[in-house]
């Protein structure tokens, strides 16, 4: 059964050329199906990173607005994040 179907296809030069062309496009070309799927995965990963960083930028802008609006928040942030202190005080860091 298989010989009856595929053997005439292999004898025809146009169908053989078409099969070789499809194999070439699928596996060996610079824009092969394998490369296209890898590129699509990479694009989706980059789109997810864009969404993450846009949310991060929005959060950071809100935090900056909060810090600039109230000087006590700025002092609290400096003490917590950068371990800053006043001239006459000692800071003990407990982990």
> What CA–CA distance (Å, rounded) separates 77 from 70?
11
Note whether 81 and 39 are same-domain residues: yes
Number of domains in the chain: 2
Q: What is the pLDDT of residue 28?
A: 85
47 and 80 within one domain: yes
Q: What whole-number distance in Å separates Cα of residue 32 and Cα of residue 44?
A: 18
Residue 90 has pLDDT above 80, yes or no: no
**Token output for 70:** 């109230």
Predicted confidence band of residue 84 (pLDDT cuts 50, 70, 90): confident
- Is the domain of 56 the same as that of 75? yes
The parent domain of residue 64 ranges over: 35-85
Residue 5, pLDDT above cutoff 70: no
Q: Are residues 50 and 18 in the same domain?
A: no
Is the residue at 94 inside a domain? Answer: no
Is residue 93 included in any domain, yes or no? Answer: no
Q: Do 50 and 26 have their domain in common? A: no
What is the reported pLDDT for 3? 66
* 31-54 residue pLDDT tens: 888 899 999 999 999 999 999 999
């Amino acid at each position: 059964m298989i010989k009856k179907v595929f053997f005439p296809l292999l004898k025809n030069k146009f169908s053989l050329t078409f099969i070789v062309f499809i194999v070439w496009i699928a596996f060996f070309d610079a824009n092969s199906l394998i490369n296209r799927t890898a590129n699509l995965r990479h694009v989706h990963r980059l789109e997810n990173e864009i969404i993450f960083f846009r949310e991060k930028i929005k959060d950071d802008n809100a935090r900056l607005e909060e810090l600039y609006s109230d000087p006590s928040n700025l002092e609290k942030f400096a003490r917590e994040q950068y371990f800053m202190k006043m001239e006459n005080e000692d800071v003990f860091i407990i982990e």
